Amino acid sequence: MYGAIDYNQFQKLNPAQQNDLARSKGYTGTSDYLDHLGGGMGGNGVTSGGGQVNTADSFLQSLKDELTKQFDELAKRTKEFDTNNPFVFDEALAKASAEERFNPYYDAELKDFTQGIERQKQSQEGSMKLLTDLNRIQVGQDKRNLDEAISAAEEGYAGAGLYNSGAKERATGQAAISGQDTANTRSLQYNESLAGGNRSLAEIAQNKATGERRLGAAQTTDIQTEIEKQKAEEEARHATERLQYIGSPYTSSITGGINQLLGSTFS
């Protein structure tokens, strides 16, 4: 029924077959026959010093070989996929897509902001023009008032026969001094107001530059973030395609090879 058989072939038989074979060879049972095949293993797969094959070492080596084979295959298929399908990301296209998404929003924001700043500037410039016009009018009015005061004084003293008197000179001189004081005060106030207006214009210009810079930075950040997001999505898609090409080594190829090895050893 059974021909010549070695230790590994014997191990592939089921227990009933092993027992039948051992008895057909004249042995009392499986253990005795294993001693015969293994040169004194006693059925436990460990040599008793006769230099025969150690079953545990043999199994571990087989397991190591199987794992090496499967991982080599995994590396091979990974390299095949990456060689035939290298990851390529079109950053220019991604940037164009991001700009198409964000530019309209930031263009509208910039337009609203600029219009607001322009209204502030026009209002301030209008106020300064009005200030200049009012100052010019007032300066003219002050001059007329001074001229009228001096004329009235001269006429008064002339009517009294004192036109060439020292009193008339003192009166007209005092009127001139008073008028100059008024003009100096008004000029100082005007110049201070004008300087304040110019400072406001400078502040408006600074706010405009700051606002434009912040909007530009936010726009750049959003566009760059969108590009990085698209790149990450492409990398994830590429990785998924690689796994699909390789298969599922940890649940099929590698595990299947190990299970086959275990089955052939202990069945």
Residue 242 shares a structural domain with residue 118: yes
We report the CATH number of the domain holding residue 132 as: 1.10.287
Residue 130 shares a structural domain with residue 223: yes
Q: Does the pLDDT value for residue 4 go beyond 90?
A: no
Q: Please, what's the b/e burial string for 116-147 (b: 16 or more CB within 10 A of its CB; e: otherwise)?
A: ebeebbeebeeebeebeeebeeeeeebeeebe
Residue 153 shares a structural domain with residue 210: yes
More confident residue, 127 or 161: 127
Residue 205 lies in a domain: yes
Mean pLDDT over 223-246 rounds to 93
Residue 14 shares a structural domain with residue 121: no
Q: Which of 9-23, 42-56, 74-88, 107-121 has the highest mean pLDDT?
A: 107-121
Residue 19 shares a structural domain with residue 107: no
Residue 138 shares a structural domain with residue 235: yes
> Which are the contacts of 195, defined by CB distance < 8 A and separation ≥ 6?
none
Residue 81 lies in a domain: no
Tell me: the pLDDT tens digits for 147-182? 666 666 556 655 666 556 566 566 666 766 776 767
Question: What is the value of pTM for the model shown?
Answer: 0.55
Residue 22 shares a structural domain with residue 153: no
Looking at residue 184, its pLDDT comes to: 78
Residue 167 lies in a domain: yes
Residue 166 shares a structural domain with residue 103: yes
Q: How far is CA 78 from CA 224, 240, 246, in A?
A: 31, 12, 6
How large a percentage of the chain has pLDDT more than 70?
69
Residue 112 shares a structural domain with residue 238: yes
Residue 258 lies in a domain: no
Residue 105 shares a structural domain with residue 188: yes
Q: Which domain holds residue 48?
A: 1-53
DSSP 186-211: HHHHHHHHHHHHHHHHHHHHHHHHHH
Residue 133 shares a structural domain with residue 48: no
Q: Within 13 Å of residue 231, how many CA atoms lie on the same side as its CB?
A: 12
Q: How confident is residue 247, by pLDDT bands cut at 50, 70 and 90?
A: confident
Q: Which of 68-77, 96-105, 138-147, 179-188 has the highest mean pLDDT?
A: 96-105
Least confident of 101-110, 124-133, 166-175: 166-175
Distance CA 198, CA 195 (A): 5
How many domains does the structure of the chain reveal? 2
Mean pLDDT over 83-87 rounds to 91
Mean pLDDT over 32-48 rounds to 54
More confident residue, 50 or 216: 216
How large a percentage of the chain has pLDDT more than 90?
31
Residue 42 shares a structural domain with residue 156: no
